[in-house]
Structure 1
Amino acid sequence: MKRILITTAGRPDEVTETRALAAQQALGYERIARNKRSVKNLMVTNSCDLLVAGKERYELYRQTMSEPFFFHPDTAAFRLKRLLKGETDPLVEMCQLEPGNSFLDCTLGLATDSIVASFAVGATGKVKGIEADPDVAFITATGLTQFQPKFQELKDAMQRISVVHESAPTFLTGLSDDTWDVVYLDPMFSQTISESSSFAPLRQVGVHGGLTEEWVSEARRVARKRVVVKAHFNDPVFEQFGFTQIIRPNTKFHFGFIEK
């Protein structure tokens, strides 16, 4: 099992110490003093991965990573701006999202798609994200509430999302039939999409694992309207689990759906 320690940014102060303590209480990892040491030095000396509490964000460093994982809205910001201009979004169209709908994201990651869904369903809707990796769940949940975006609609959409640390199949088995309008599945792509540079750190820290019959079966049971999957265009999940694949020219990933 990987060893993770928590420390502060290079120049610790009351803010970073408080944030380091909050991470320790949430995750249960040991906290160590920075003492002007570099991240690399701390990781090598302690043979560990490192969660760094900065003034504005948490950064997760794994020994195998060249860049840290941290929360950012990624493409959600410009996707919301397009929706505000009256344009469409493929996710919103595929999920047929309307104000007041409920959206269960079974593979939250950085919550990019959940942010867009949250905007689409509005204040009367409901969005919940399930994340299997405890570190990703903590960093994303914290980022959704503490990140300061440049426009209010993005901030509102982010803050309406609730996050649960759990494996998706386990969480789904505890739900009643037909309890969420849309159940969304976006597992780690079976093939790397080279242009998705912002996805690289998440790929290195997130939980890997493809869809299973149990997972899809539970998702179908829980969904009221449809189950939607996003995957590489030639991923076998579409045919394997009976999703209707929607071909999107000139894109590396496609959506698929199962209608209820």
Structure 2
Amino acid sequence: MKTIVTTAGRPTDLTIQLAKNASSKLGLPYIDRQKRTVTQLQQHYQSDVLVAAKSRWEYHGLKSTEPFFYHPSSAMFRLKRVARGEHDPFLDVCQLQPGDSFLDCTLGYASDSLLAAYAVCETGTIHGCEANPVLAFILNEAFHEGRTDHMEFKTLMNRIQIISSDAVTYLKQLEDQSVDVVYMDPMFETSIEESVNISPLRALGIQDTLNEEWVHEAKRVAKKRVVLKAHYTSPWFEEFDFNQIKRPNTKFHYGFIEKAAFNN
């Protein structure tokens, strides 16, 4: 799907420059807003529209009813719970320790990566892959340039390096056993109606399907664990030999493969 770059409805010198900079960086056409609505631009150019607003980026998909913009999603309340000493199922299965390295193969809103950044502390490293280059750009701008209305987790955001690449391509560049935990959450496998907050991401994200090559590369790169999040009915747990952690009354489960299981 083609994407164009423009400004908010009332452009300023700043938003015009931001839009032109994004146009150059992403190799996308810059279009003068000329008081047109986003819908008018979408229909005229048959394109997605990346908008430089005053304090954030908005990504309006031609087939989406609402824009994507960065917000921490479930990380907001999950981090507060963890800080109070409560358990988080994601952290329980990853078993991250201070100083660990973590690769999120499917970054999305980076909610899980923010939890991982909390767990590995300032001595750890977090990398996250986002296959859609425009989404990767928005996340990088939010995390490292302050282009978001949500800066309450700035310290954690600064720990996350965003990789504009699909997971398999990036994994192939890494050395054997070079990352402590490799995490995969191919969210598009099964639509979960309760997850309304990811609907803009669902419309714009790359729809990855877990396959043998992906799992093989994850197992090669992981030093401690490969972790999978998937719908509780997913055949992937059994197909790829993940130990499925069954959680009553939840739509998704976690699974893991220990280092010992694939290094012997």
Alignment of 1:165-244 (within 5 A): 165-244=164-243
Cα shift at 1:209: 2.3
> Aligned residue for 2:78?
79
Q: Contact conserved, 1:148 with 1:155, CA < 8 A, in 2?
A: no
Q: Secondary structure at the match of 2:9?
A: coil
| Runs of 4 or more above 3 Å deviation | 148-151
Q: Secondary structure at the match of 2:67?
A: coil
> Aligned residue for 1:109?
108
Cα shift at 1:35: 1.2
Equivalent AA in structure 2 for residue 239 of structure 1: E
Equivalent AA in structure 2 for residue 15 of structure 1: L
Q: Contact conserved, 1:104 with 1:184, CA < 8 A, in 2?
A: yes
**Residues of 2 paired with 1:82 and 1:94: CA distance?**
17
Cα shift at 1:95: 0.3
TM-score w.r.t. structure 2 length? 0.94
Q: Secondary structure at the match of 2:23?
A: helix
> Aligned residue for 1:4?
3
Q: Structure 2: which 5+ residue stretches go unaligned?
A: 260-264
> Aligned residue for 2:36?
37
Q: Secondary structure at the match of 1:31?
A: coil
**Residues of 2 paired with 1:158 and 1:122: CA distance?**
12
Equivalent AA in structure 2 for residue 60 of structure 1: Y
Indicate the percent of aligned positions where both proteins have the same amino acid. 50
Cα shift at 1:150: 6.0
Q: Secondary structure at the match of 1:211?
A: coil
> Aligned residue for 1:51?
50
Number of matched pairs:
257
**Residues of 2 paired with 1:47 and 1:83: CA distance?**
44
Cα shift at 1:25: 2.3
> Aligned residue for 2:23?
24
**Residues of 1 paired with 2:18 and 2:236: CA distance?**
40
Cα shift at 1:37: 0.9
Equivalent AA in structure 2 for residue 118 of structure 1: A
**Residues of 1 paired with 2:132 and 2:234: CA distance?**
23
1:125 aligns with 2:98: no
**Residues of 2 paired with 1:105 and 1:258: CA distance?**
15
Deviations 1:35-62 (A, max 9, x none): 1111111111222211111011111112
Equivalent AA in structure 1 for residue 52 of structure 2: A
